[in-house]
Structure 1
Amino acid sequence: MDIHHLVYFIEVARHRNFTKAAQALHISQPSISKMIKVLEEELGVRLFSRTTRQIELTDAGRAVLHEAQHIINSFQNLKSELSDVMQLKTGNILFGLPPMIGASFFSKIIGKFNQQYPGITIKLIEVGSRQVEYGIEDGSLDIGVVALPIVKEDAFEMLSFVKEPLMVITPNDHRLAAKAKVSLVELKDEPLAFYREDFSLHDTIIERCSERGFYPKTICESSQWDFIAEMVAAKLGVALLPTTICRDLDPKRIKSIPLVDPIIYWDLAIIWKKDKYIPFAVKEWIKFTSSLLGINYKIN
């Protein structure tokens, strides 16, 4: 049985006449008779009681007609909804975004995307890079932003969009504030306002400190760069923040100094699951975002 069998059946039931139904459907009368016979054989019941003058629905035919009309209506609704999805009139995107990244890069992009595609809902899930990676892997997120490196790079498609060095931030009257650059080992004895464990920078910085023979003395762990900056401004410690974020800090209260030996990069990428179907809305988000970020990227 296919949907056409039900369409032909409904039309015959409406006209109570094979010839009139065939004319309405623009097919031959023998063809529609054959279709009805096939449907009856498949269902194992007679649908019409035939006389020389007219046809009438049997009790089984009336039951089939009731359900067939529901099926046809559902099918038409399905076609309409699929059309809306394919034409980007509707859709949902589950987007994982570390809090530190959102305001700097994506608030304007999300606003412009919503203007162009008002029917597509973007649900932002604010978590650290590690949780973004896990969420995309288990399917609870469609797409997300992470700081590289990530644990399972081979499992994801990646679109890198920024790579910039971390800066050391200190109170303006701190002993390091007058320096042109600061090495990581110079922070050995400094209280450090730090990142939460689910941020990839957390592990990266600890690894670099360990390579130089010390473990950072953390005074707090946060996902919010403005909180970290306020801890520094209150003279409770120092911190390492990306260059982009340092540009928004108050220079009257906080000094930003390049970190050297080593240079630690904030390397950001949009990721999504490799070898998995990409919904139309997500695919358009990738195209739209890469265009606004000035990245030449083609997605099939």
Structure 2
Amino acid sequence: MDIRHLQCITEIVRLSSFTRAAESMHVTQPTISKMIKGLENELNVEIFVRDGKQVKLTDAGEAIVRHAGPILQLFDGLRTELNDITYLNKGSIRIGLPPMAGSSFFPPVFKQFQERYPGIRIRMFENGAVKIGEDLAAGRLDVGVVLLPINSEVFDSFPIVQDRLKVVLPKAHRLADRRRIELAELADEPFILFDNDFALHERILAECRAIGFEPRVAYESSQWDFIGEMAGEGLGVAMLPDSICRSLNPDKARAVPLVNPIIPWELVMAWRREGYLSLAAREWIRFTRKLFTQSSL
């Protein structure tokens, strides 16, 4: 027994005729009779009896029709929902966003996407790029914003932001009026870093070690604005992307370009090369790739 059988039986009952049911289902009358006979043989019961020109249900037929209604309603609901998903009227996307990227670049992106696809639900997970990369690899996220470099054998991606780090200092700091600062000049300063869920945490430590010193980490946080405020209060020096530094309070903090080395901050939208990617997630990738290519977000 399959859905087609149930549809056939309910049409015969609704129209009280094999012939009219066949017309309704766009098949021939012998075809519909053969379907019913085959089902009766399969179930070893009679479904219909003919009483003159009338078609009546047997007890077995009554039982089938009684259960067929809810089953066909569920089937129609499933077909409608699949159609909605196919045409992007429904669905959900799990997106991983680092706090800096989320607050600085994505509110207008979400707005435009939701205006275009109001039925798609965006489930946003805020974490550092390290945790987002782990969740992407494990399939707990569909797409996520991460910091380069990434494993191109595992992830596909497209660029979102290309930036570089600046040193954030209080206005009264001895280096605040410099046009640029070398990393070695910060060897004796307390550092304020993102915590180790963020790719910048290990990146900054690695760059310091590469030139011969181990930085003294005074504070760690997951919030870029809090880091900027602490640096402005003189609790240590911080390193934040140029695009983020523009949002800091200029009455408290100075942001000076970092050189020797220049530390890039390059964000990409990433997703797994292998595994299932929903239609909604694929459309998010297509939509945002076009948006970031066309704009300076």
Instruction: Report the TM-score, using the length of structure 2 for normalisation.
Output: 0.93
Deviation of 1:104 after TM superposition, in Å, equals 1.0
The farther-off stretch of 272-281 and 119-128 is 272-281
**Residue 289 to residue 237, structure 1, CA distance change in 2 (3 Å):** same
Q: Shift of the alpha carbon at 1:24?
A: 3.6
In structure 2, C-alpha distance between the alignment counterparts of 1:43 and 1:157, rounded to whole Å: 52
1:251 deviation in Å? 2.2
- Find the counterpart in structure 2 of residue 157 from structure 1: 156
In structure 1, distance between residues paired with 2:93 and 2:157: 17
Query: Which residue of structure 2 aligns with residue 70 of structure 1?
Result: 70
Cα distance in 2 for residues equivalent to 1:34 and 1:256? 82
Find out whether 1:200 has 2:199 as its counterpart: yes
Q: Which residue of 1 aligns with 2:22?
A: 22
SS of the equivalent of 1:39 reads helix
Deviates more, 1:231-240 or 1:14-23: 14-23
Compute the displacement of 1:4 (Å). 2.4
Judged with a 3 Å threshold, the aligned counterparts in structure 2 of structure 1 residues 192 and 26 are, in CA distance, closer, same or farther, namely closer
SS of 1:154's partner is coil
Matched residue type, 1:281? A
Q: Distance in 2 between matches of 1:191 and 1:23?
A: 83
1:225 counterpart = 2:220: no
3-state SS in 1 of match to 2:293: coil
Counterparts of 2:38 and 2:184, CA distance in 1? 83
Relative to structure 1, is the Cα distance of residues 26 and 158 closer, same or farther in structure 2, using a 3 angstrom cutoff? closer
The equivalent of 2:177 in structure 1 is: 178
Conservation of the 8 A alpha-carbon contact between 1:100 and 1:223: no
1:111 aligned partner: 111
Deviation of 1:2 after TM superposition, in Å, equals: 4.1
Residue equivalent to 2:48: 48
1:93 equivalent in structure 2: 93
CA distance in 1, matches of 2:25, 2:98: 57
> Per-residue deviation at 1:17?
3.0
- Number of aligned pairs? 295
Distance of 2:205 and 2:24 partners within structure 1:
76
Contact 2:91–2:119 (8 Å) recurs in 1 = yes
In structure 1, the residue matched to 2:148 is 148
Moved more, 211-220 or 61-70: 61-70
Q: Give structure 1 stretches of 5+ with no counterpart.
A: none
Consecutive unaligned residues in structure 2, runs of 5 or more: none
Distance 2:241 2:228 in 1: 12
Identity %: 45
Q: What secondary structure does 1:270 align onto? A: strand
Contact 1:149 1:200 in 2 (8 A): no
CA RMSD for the aligned pairs?
1.8
What code does the residue aligned with 2:247 have? Answer: D
* CA positional deviation for 1:258: 1.0
